[in-house]
Chains A and B, each alone.
Chain A
Amino acid sequence: MEFVSPEGLRLDGRRPRELRRINCQLDVLSNADGSAIFEMGNTKVLAAVFGPHAVTRRSELREEGALVVCEYSMAAFSTGERRRRGKGDRRSTELSMVIRNTLEQAVITELLPRSQIDVYVQVLQADGGTRCAAINAAVLALAAAGVPLRDLVAGCAAGYLDGTALLDLNYTEDSGGGPDLCVALAPRLDSLYLVQMDNRLPVDTFQAVMELAREGCRTISGVMRAALLEHTQRLAVARGITAAV
């Protein structure tokens, strides 16, 4: 299969270094303390944050910082072929751990000792890059919940197919057999909170792909920041703190 046409266009018409259309919605659920929907092309992920609240299981209480609990689940209708996957299968458990690990680094946990923050991620539509979209949705939901964050961490995937480094793979490209690199970056601190790669990749190509993914993270973080600012502004107007712009 040809992933990049001779004209330099990908299967969905994008350029190799082009992201899909991003859409962020904040505070979409009324019950959660913070929630967000992060959309990237056909991938759509919902995240809800509850807390910080008292630790539910005493044995997990941490004196030095907050405990971050994460659960990732996929809706039965989210994938192309229907699969009853629910919660608790191996892939979901692994992803829960990956997201939890990333978020624990992003949250300034030492400000919230002896407390717990629940993050629930629900994939509504899956079309490649759910790992990164899940992180982005979770970060937005945390920000909406007012949890102190070190930086607006953003995740982005990049791959290497047909001798070209490709940004933000969709499902067809993801299952194309090439290497797939998933990165979460704190853009202002310039530190990588998550690096995951499958398949083999020469070191010099790896650097190119890595640089591309980081660039993607910075762009996504910018879009997320703009969405958050707009949302906060709308909230401020609604509560009569500032006049409408």
Chain B
Amino acid sequence: MVPEELKYTDTHEWLRIDGEYGIVGVTQYGFEKLGDVVYVELPDVGSKVKQGEAFGVIESVKAAVDLIAPISGTVEEVNESAKKSPENLPKDPYGESWLIKVRIENPSEIEKLLTNNAYEELIKE
């Protein structure tokens, strides 16, 4: 079961909406697909991210995968401990392992994201 209150992308990112801010992370399923995470590249505070475009990279022993922004906005905060200890990321995908916090530019973009039910349907095997 994926958390009900979040929105999802088909590339396995999640978005938690907190007023005018959005917090972004990778889903548990996304981490399972990746395997051991060894490196994360995240944008600088103050930079802009755009819905549907890469904002960073996550590397596992298997591959490097682009992180796709679920929403457009300005990066307000970056999870420094994610950068320092990327290997811990899969342990708490919806909590400690958030990646960036953005100031949402256009709230109507949220409608384009998947609901928890739609996302669960997507990852059903």
Q: Do A and B come from one complex?
A: no
Residues of chain B at the chain A interface (Cβ within 8 Å): none
